[in-house]
Chains A and B, each alone.
Chain A
Amino acid sequence: MAIQDNIEFTIKSSTINWDEQGIASASLTASIGKDFAVAKALSLKAHPEYPWMLRTSGRVTAQAGILAEINLEFAGIDPSLDGQVTTNIRAATSTEPIDTHPRFGSGIPNVGEEGWAALFDPQFNEDGSFDKFPPKLKVFDPQENEDVNIANPKAGIESYLEPTITFEQSKIFASESKAKLQEHCVNLGMIDNSWFTGEGIPKPPTPLADNGTPRNWLLVSAGYEAIGKGGKVTKMWRLSGRRGWDELIYKNATL
Chain B
Amino acid sequence: MPTTIVGERSIFETVGSSVEIGDYKTKKPVGATVNYHDTRASLDIGKDYFRSGTVFGDFSSASSTKQDGVASGSVNYKTTSDEVVYTMKYNTSSEPIDTHPDFQKFAGDGDNPLHGAQFEPNGAFRKFAHKLSKDELEALDIDGGFPVRNAKGQAAAEGDQNWFSGVSSYLESSGVWTKRFKSNRTPTLEGLGKISTPDGYCPVIEGRNWLYTGFTASFTSPAKADKNRTIKGDISMEWTLSGRRGWDKDIYGESAPEGGEDAPVNIRGDFAEQREEGDNQLKGDVLRNGINQ
A interface, CB within 8 angstroms of B: 12-22, 49, 78, 80-93, 98, 101, 103, 116, 123, 132, 134-136, 151, 153-154, 156-157, 160-163, 165, 197-203, 205, 207
Residues 31-90 (chain B) with a chain A CB within 8 angstroms = 45-47, 50-51, 59-67
Shortest 3 CB-CB contacts between residues of A and residues of B: A80-B225, A200-B221, A81-B223
**CA gap between A162 and B65 in the complex, in Å:** 51
* Contacting residue for B271 out of A81, A92, A199, CB 8 A: A199
CA distance A49 to B44 in the complex (A): 8
Shortest C-beta distance, A48 to chain B (Å), equals: 11
Contact between A199 and B275, CB atoms less than 8 A apart: yes
Residues B65 and A13 in contact, CB atoms below 8 Å apart: yes
- 18 residue pairs of the A-B complex, CB under 8 angstroms, read A16-B63, A17-B64, A22-B223, A83-B223, A85-B221, A87-B219, A88-B217, A89-B186, A89-B218, A90-B214, A91-B216, A93-B213, A156-B96, A163-B189, A197-B271, A199-B278, A200-B267, A205-B186
B 177-206 binary contact with A (CB < 8 Å = 1; else 0): 000000000111110110000000000000
Contact status of A163 and B219, CB under 8 A, knowing A89-B186, A134-B124 = no
Is B271 in contact with A135, judged by CB distance below 8 angstroms? Answer: no
Count of A-B contacts judged by CB separation below 8 Å: 173
Contact A198/B274 with A17-B63, A20-B61, A81-B223 known, Cβ cut-off 8 Å: yes
Interface segment, one of B150-158, B162-170, B246-254: B246-254
CB neighbours of A83 from chain B (8 A): 221, 223-224
Q: Report the contact-size class of chain B (Cβ under 8 Å from the partner).
A: 35 or more
A135 to B123, Cβ gap below 8 A? yes
> Using an 8 Å CB-CB cutoff, how does the interface string of B232-263 with A read, 1 for contact, 0 for none?
01000000000000001011100000000001
10 other A-B residue contacts (CB within 8 Å) besides A80-B223, A156-B99: A80-B47, A83-B224, A85-B220, A87-B220, A89-B187, A90-B215, A103-B250, A123-B122, A135-B124, A162-B193
Contact B109 A84 (CB under 8 A): no
Contact B223 A160 (CB under 8 A): no
Query: Is there contact, CB below 8 Å, between A200 and B231?
Result: yes
> What's the least CB distance linking A209 to chain B, in Å?
13
Residue from B63, B219, B278 with most neighbouring chain A CB atoms (10 Å): B219
Interface residue? B23 (CB, 8 A): no
CB distance from B62 to the nearest CB of A (A): 4
Chain B residue nearest to A27 (CB atoms) is B65
B30 surroundings in chain A (CB, below 8 A): none
Q: Taking the complex as formed, is B29 at the interface, i.e. its CB lies under 8 A from any CB of chain A?
A: no
B104 contact set on A, CB distance < 8 A:
151
Q: Which of B65, B220, B229, B231 has the most CB of A within 10 A?
A: B220
Per the bound structure, the CA–CA distance linking A197 and B220 in Å amounts to: 12
Are A101 and B251 interface neighbours, CB within 8 A?
Answer: yes
Chain B CB within 10 A, most for which of A19, A85, A93: A93
**Contact call B98/A156, Cβ cutoff below 8 A:** yes
Structural contact, B213 and A161, CB atoms closer than 8 A: yes
CB of A19 within 8 A of CB of B220, answer no
- B189 pairs with A157, CB closer than 8 A: no
In chain B, what residue has the closest Cβ to A136? B123
The contact of A20 among B46, B60, B274, by CB within 8 Å, is: B60
State whether the Cβ of B265 lies closer than 8 Å to any Cβ in chain A: yes
Q: Which of B60, B125, B193, B219 contacts A201 (CB 8 A)?
A: B219
Closest residue to B273 on the A side, CB-wise?
Answer: A199
Does chain A have a CB within 8 A of B288? no
Residues of A close to B59: CB separation below 8 A: 20
A13 to chain B, nearest CB (A): 4
A22→B223 CA distance, assembly (Å): 8
Q: List, in ascending order, chain A residues with CB within 8 A of B47's CB.
A: 78, 80
A residues near B221, Cβ cutoff 8 Å: 83-87, 198-201
Q: How far is the CA of A123 from the CA of B47 in the complex (A)?
A: 70
B222 is an interface residue with CB less than 8 A from chain A: yes
Tell me whether A157 and B218 are in contact (CB under 8 A): no
Contacts A101-B251, A198-B271, A199-B278 given: A82-B223 contact, CB under 8 Å? yes
Q: A20-B60, A199-B267 are in contact. Are A134 and B187 (CB under 8 A)?
A: no
